[in-house]
A and B are shown apart, each in its own frame.
Chain A
Amino acid sequence: MKLTKTLLATTALTVAAGMVNADGHMSSELTIVSWGGAYSASQKGAYHDPYAEANGVTIINDDSSAEAVAKLRAMSEADNVTWDVVDVVAADAIRLCDEGLAMEIDADTMLADAPDGTKASEDFGDLLVSDCFIPQIVYSTTFGYRTDLVGDTAPTTVCAVFDTDAYPGKRALEKRPINNMEWALLCDGVAKGDVYDVLATQEGQDKALAKLDTIKDDVIWWSAGADTPQLLADGEVIMGSTYNGRLFAAIEEQKLPVAMLWDAQVFDLDGWIIPTGLSPERQARALDYIMFATDTQRLADQAQYISYGPARKSSAPLVGKHISLGIDMAPHMPTDPNNAKNTFLYNYEFWADYRDDIDAKFQAWLAK
């Protein structure tokens, strides 16, 4: 390890010496980790390219967000963190923060204020769910359905998923308890405000699984976000849950006979963290990038590429048209008032505690 460090230090010195004239105290390379596909493309268009151009920085993309937590832990154990900025969902950010793998960010001093001078902490509001997390987008996990396969009356509530009489056919659900347990309870008559209290009890968990049991034979379980749009396209399922951006692409870009079911969509957040253990130069560069990429205009810019809502309140009015389709993006945002009539907020704290326990029960139930 010592040798590695010496080598790294030497390399860093050499590299640093070569670019002293460029920027004395910031690294000239930035490794950004994200989800790949259309999502990374939207970040490239809205953030990476403008930033790289303005600062002469080489940005390296790594599509590893799906296993970011595990990889960051491994990197940290090996004392060799190679990532500078990592895009993760809020739940992962909380875990990285808990593990001491992400640095704390003070929103007011490290992030840009809104154009009207509102402090960042206020602009992001309660979306700052962790000390280490800078929210970027609000996305939702919601249902899409095949307009041609659901019969004459299109589903209007999430409970259509559990109604196999009115809507016979297969459904796609994610192969994990999160969201599914909440929907099951909602459709089993539990009030929205009580869902997590109920789910914290053994009886509540049994109740949710019993509800899911009624459709178990009609479910195809997915594990990658791309699965549901594909299953819908193939006609393998008549409805299925996935991220709203994926459904937008299926509907507006691929023109599939699919419609959104916004009811009881579960809001979740995706955003940035900066790993701990970076050298001062790299940390400075990462912070500089974050400051740039999460300002009001950049967040609004991302919505030109993908239908995820910007995390700043001040960005919402700036959301314009899709960059290639030319359609208004606002109505496709999960946060649009018309879509957000009945929403459900993912409870990070609850799942941080109950994830392992309920997941074991859920998997045991699945295998039954």
Chain B
Amino acid sequence: MSDISADGLDANGLVLAADGTPLKRSLARAMRRQKLRALLLVAPLLIFVLLTFIVPIASMLFRSVENDIVSNTLPNTVQELGRWDASTSELPPEPVFEAMFFDMFIAAEAKRHTRLGTRLNYEQTGISSLFRQTGRKLDDIGKVTKKPLEAFDSAWKDGETWYAIFNAGDAPASKNLMKSQRGLLKRLTSDPASGDVNFSPRADVTKLLPKAAREYTAWAIFTAVQDEKDPATRDPWESVYTALILDLKTADLSGYTGPNEDLLKAAQAADLPVPAFSEAFADMDKDWATPVPWKTIQTHSGLYTSGYFLNAIDAQKTDDGVAWQPENKQILLKLFGRTLIMSLIITGSCIMLGYPIAWLLSNVSARNANLLLILVLLPFWTSLLVRTSAWKVMLQQNGVINEVLVWIGLVPDAERLILINNQFGTIVAMTHILLPFMILPMYSVMSTIPPVYLRAAKSMGATNWTAFWRVYFPQSIPGIGAGSILVFILSIGYYITPEIVGGTKGVFISNRIAYHISSSLNWGLAAALGTILLVVVLALYWAYDRIVGIDNVKLG
């Protein structure tokens, strides 16, 4: 910096600004300020696009693979099932049933078991009601253990007895258990489960009676956070009774000197019966005695799943790999194909109908062009539903077109044409609705093509047709390209019009997406279908770019 020569260069030959800083840095600083200002100007739009476009698309992409509901709702069961070999066609071992009982109990208390049932019902019909009914009947298993214990000593009826045993008070507490159970509830209910609980599990009891401590802690947190009640005075869930009896079977209480020592030791001595979980489940619903629901849970227990995408292409994930859906359920691939083909046909007919109009628009006087343009835009002034319904009135069997055809005798009364509730109806109505999106870009491109080119071509000896085809048409291709991309992408995602006039064969994939969003609530499948549609559009866009070139698309 020190030795600056007279011509504004420093020792390294870098050009310097007037104040001696390198010119490059000065320039960068000036540019940065400019860029920052530009960024501030576009910031509102950027944030808007981010929030309304990027984020929803990202969340859709995520939803199509997200599957943590299974392991969040049945964490221990999933873990136990991991050790089960489904191919043996035997039922899972007892610990799986036991884990299922405790998982399901908490899930049922949190009313999350039905949600999981709905999720798994997409994969295996019948699981929805299996889970719903099981949730209702779970208490019965619990009561099997609760009643004998309470009958044995009525002190067990008192919530304070339980609290005295499990609450750490001044004694050392098991922070790990507390943390893991809080985490469990958080994942299960998507509630932070972070409030004050007025309870922490006693460390030595936790070691001695692990299952009971686990269930009691879950209950205590749930009671305090979800029900907003004090766990100190309330009776725990039946599952805690069950867990205690289970623990007492194996616990070595000899060294235990904590609260209610006598009660616990007496209960252990009584050797109360433990339920046989597998039998209890089979009693609740005979389906539990088959491997089917267990296989389904095991197959779909991953945090992420390809299941929705497989479903979206008429395949499914089974316990022995990917398989096609039964033939009588295969519909989506067919709909994808139909959507693409019909969108192409609609785009094609928009080109055929729109081109002459766009030509006319760009070649008549400005006054007439305005009038024509208004006519072109007129459909935009009426609601989509009204326009579609109008087509219904036009095309139905007693509709305007058929009446006219019958009246002039072109069609016999008994053989009226079927123009609606089929693919024809969809093509006609959608061509009409999307036509302006074709005409406008075509027009704006055509109006920039000076008529002198045609004259030039003719002066060189070209006939009208050659002049048009060789000279005018190639120059109007960017307009056709822009219009086609617009119309094609719009039509690929259309669903209202196909729904109304499409009948059975004129509906699109988007109708299924709408169905899964609003009726079946299978948002994962809807997201997978949407993602595929997005990828298809991007792929076609890419293909278009490769074949025609994207700079060959102009909106004017």
A interface residues, Cβ below 8 angstroms from B: 66-67, 69-70, 73, 95, 97-100, 170, 175, 206, 209, 220-221, 223, 234-236, 349, 352-357, 359-361, 363-367
Tell me if B521 and A95 are in contact (CB < 8 A).
Answer: yes
Whether B286 is near chain A, meaning CB under 8 Å from some CB there, is: no
Tell me if B114 and A236 are in contact (CB < 8 A): no
Closest to A237 in B: B397
Is there an interface contact between A98 and B125, defined as CB atoms closer than 8 Å? no
Closest CB of chain B to A148's CB: distance in Å? 13
- B314 CB to nearest A CB, Å: 9
Contact, CB under 8 Å: B128 / A353: yes
Known contacts A100-B114, A221-B504; is A356 also within 8 Å of B421 by CB?
no
Write out the residue numbers on chain A whose beta carbons fall within 8 Å of the beta carbon of B146: none
Q: Is the CB of B504 within 8 A of A97?
A: no
- Asked whether any CB of chain A lies closer than 8 Å to the CB of B33, the reply is no
Residues of chain A within 8 A (CB-CB) of B500 are 223
> Which residues does chain B contribute within 8 Å of A357, judged by CB atoms?
125, 329
Residue B186 interfacial (CB < 8 Å): no
Confirm or deny: B129 has a beta carbon within 8 angstroms of a beta carbon on chain A. Answer: yes
Determine whether the beta carbon of A95 is less than 8 Å from that of B504: no
CB of A356 within 8 A of CB of B331, answer: no
| Min CB gap B143→A, angstroms | 20
Give the CA-CA distance A294 to B518 in the complex, in Å. 27
Interface centre among B117, B504, B515, by most A CB within 10 Å?
B504
In the complex, the answer to whether A100 meets B330 with C-beta atoms within 8 Å is: no
Cβ–Cβ contact A352 & B128, under 8 A: yes
Known: A67-B518, A98-B118, A100-B114. 11 other contacts (CB 8 A): A69-B519, A73-B523, A98-B115, A98-B117, A100-B115, A235-B398, A352-B121, A353-B129, A354-B126, A360-B325, A364-B331
A selection of 10 A-B contacts at a CB cut-off of 8 Å is A70-B517, A95-B521, A98-B117, A98-B128, A100-B111, A220-B421, A236-B398, A353-B126, A356-B125, A360-B325
- Which of A97, A349, A356 interacts with B522 by CB under 8 Å? A356
- Distance in angstroms from B146 CB to nearest chain A CB is 23
Min CB gap B118→A, angstroms: 6
CA distance A234 to B402 in the complex (A): 13
Query: In the complex, what distance in Å separates the CA atom of A66 from the CA atom of B519?
Result: 9
- Cβ of B335: which chain A residues have Cβ within 8 Å of it? 367
Docked-complex contact B111 and A69, CB < 8 angstroms: no
A353, B398: Cβ atoms closer than 8 Å: no
Kindly state the separation between the CA atoms of A67 and B112 in the bound complex, as whole angstroms.
22
B421 lies within 8 A of A206 (CB): no
Bound-state Cα–Cα, A236 to B396, Å: 7
CB-contacts of B509-525 with A (<8 A): 512, 515, 517-523
The closest CB in chain B to the CB of A76 belongs to B190
Given the complex of chains A and B, what is the CA–CA distance between A69 and B519 in angstroms?
8
Contact A366 B114, beta carbon cutoff 8 Å: no
Q: Is the CB of B125 within 8 A of A353?
A: yes
User: What is the distance, in angstroms, from B101's C-beta to the closest C-beta of chain A?
Assistant: 20
**Which residues from chain B contact A349 at a C-beta distance below 8 Å?**
129
Instruction: Confirm or deny: B541 has a beta carbon within 8 angstroms of a beta carbon on chain A.
Output: no
Report the bound CA distance from A170 to B396 in whole Å.
12
Task: Return the chain A residue nearest B59 by Cβ.
Answer: A77
Residue from the list A70, A209, A365 in contact with B521, Cβ < 8 A: A70
Establish whether residues A100 and B112, one from each chain, have CB atoms under 8 Å apart when the complex forms: yes
The listed residue (A209, A223, A234, A359) touching B396 by CB distance below 8 A is A234
| Count, chain B residues at interface, CB 8 A | 43
Which residues of chain B have C-beta atoms less than 8 A from A69's C-beta?
518-519, 521
Q: Which residues of B contact A73 (CB under 8 A)?
A: 521, 523
Neighbouring A residues of B458 by C-beta, 8 Å: none
Q: Is B5 an interface residue (CB 8 A)?
A: no
B328 within 8 A of A: yes
Is B195 engaged at the interface, CB distance under 8 Å to the other chain?
no
The listed residue (A170, A220, A356, A367) touching B520 by CB distance below 8 A is A356
Interface pair A364/B115, CB less than 8 Å apart: no
B84 sits at the interface (CB 8 A):
no
Instruction: Using CB atoms, name the residue of chain B closest to A231.
Output: B396
Q: Which residues of A contact B520 (CB under 8 A)?
A: 355-356, 359
A221 in complex: contacting residue of B129, B503, B522, CB < 8 Å: B503
Q: Which residues of A contact B518 (CB under 8 A)?
A: 66-67, 69-70
In the complex, the answer to whether A367 meets B504 with C-beta atoms within 8 Å is yes
B505 CB contacts on chain A under 8 angstroms: 367
Q: Is B424's beta carbon under 8 Å from chain A?
A: no
Q: Which chain B residue lies CB-closest to A358?
A: B125
Q: How far is the CB of B84 from chain A (nearest CB, A)?
A: 25
What 0/1 readout, one digit per residue, does chain B (185-213) give for beta carbons within 8 Å of chain A? 00000000000000000000000000000
Task: Assess whether B387 is interfacial by the CB under 8 Å rule.
Answer: no
Name B110's closest neighbour in chain A (CB-CB): A100
B160 interfacial by beta-carbon distance below 8 Å: no
Supposing A97-B114, A100-B111, A353-B121 touch, asked if A206 and B128 sit within 8 A by C-beta, the answer is no
Chain A residue contacts of B249, Cβ below 8 A: none
CB distance from A3 to the nearest CB of B (A): 13
B234: chain A residues within 8 A (beta carbon)? none
Q: Looking at the assembled complex, report how far the CB atom of A317 sits from the nearest CB atom of chain B, in whole angstroms.
A: 35
Whether A354 lies near B125 (C-beta < 8 A) is yes
For A234, the closest partner residue in chain B by CB is B398
**Chain A residues closer than 8 Å to B504, beta-carbon distance:** 175, 221, 366-367
Contact B117 A361 (CB under 8 A): no
Chain B residues with CB below 8 A from A221, complex form: 421, 503-504
Smallest CB separation, B467 vs chain A (Å): 47
In the complex, whether B229 has a CB less than 8 A from a CB of chain A is no
* 5 residue pairs, one from A and one from B, having the closest CB atoms: A98-B114, A364-B331, A357-B125, A70-B518, A366-B504
Residue of B nearest to A209 (CB): B328
Tell me if B35 is interfacial: C-beta within 8 Å of chain A. no
B-side contacts of A220, CB under 8 Å: 421, 503
Instruction: Specify which chain A residues have a CB less than 8 angstroms from the CB of B325 in the assembled complex.
Output: 360
8 A Cβ contacts from B394-414 to A: 396-399
- B115: A residues at CB distance < 8 A: 98-100
Q: Is B334 an interface residue when CB atoms closer than 8 A count as contact?
A: yes
Interface core residue of A73, A236, A364 (most chain B CB under 10 Å)? A364
Which single member of B121, B328, B421, B515 contacts A364 (CB below 8 Å)? B328
Closest A residue, CB atoms, query B130? A353
B124 to A, closest residue via Cβ = A357
How distant is B214 from chain A, measured CB to nearest CB, in Å?
A: 24
**What CA separation (Å) do A209 and B512 show in the bound complex?**
20
Asked if B132 is at the interface (CB within 8 A of a chain A CB), the reply is: yes
CA of A174 to CA of B521 in the docked complex: distance in angstroms? 19
Complex CA gap A367/B122 in Å reads 21
- Alpha-carbon separation in the docked complex, A366 to B520 (Å): 18
Decide yes or no whether B499 CB sits under 8 A from chain A: yes
Instruction: Provide the residues of chain A in CB contact with B328, threshold 8 Å.
Output: 206, 209, 361, 364-365
Known: A95-B118, A221-B503. A352 touches B129 (CB 8 A): yes
In the bound complex, residues from chain B placing their C-beta under 8 Å from that of A235 are 398
* Across-interface contacts of A234 in B (CB, < 8 A): 396, 398-399
Q: How near does chain B come to A59, taking the closest CB pair, in angstroms?
A: 25
User: Whole-angstrom distance from the CB of A230 to the nearest CB of chain B?
Assistant: 9
Q: Give the complex CA separation of A365 and B330 in angstroms.
A: 9
Would B121 and A356 count as touching, CB distance under 8 A? yes
Contacts of B338 in A (CB 8 A): 367
The smallest C-beta distance from B162 to any residue of chain A, in angstroms, reads: 26
Q: Quick check: A236 and B397 within 8 Å, CB to CB?
A: yes
Question: Whole-angstrom distance between the alpha carbons of A79 and B185 in the complex?
Answer: 18
Q: Is the CB of A360 within 8 A of B331?
A: yes
CB of A37, distance to nearest CB on chain B (Å)? 14
Distance, CA A60 to CA B396, complexed state (A): 38
Given contacts A98-B117, A100-B111, A356-B522, contact A363 B512 (CB under 8 A): yes
Contacts of A66 in B (CB 8 A): 518
Closest Cβ of chain B: how far from A164's Cβ, in Å? 15
Contacts of B110 in A (CB 8 A): 100
Shortest CB–CB separation between residue B116 and chain A, in angstroms? 10
B380-400 at interface with A (beta carbon < 8 Å): 396-399
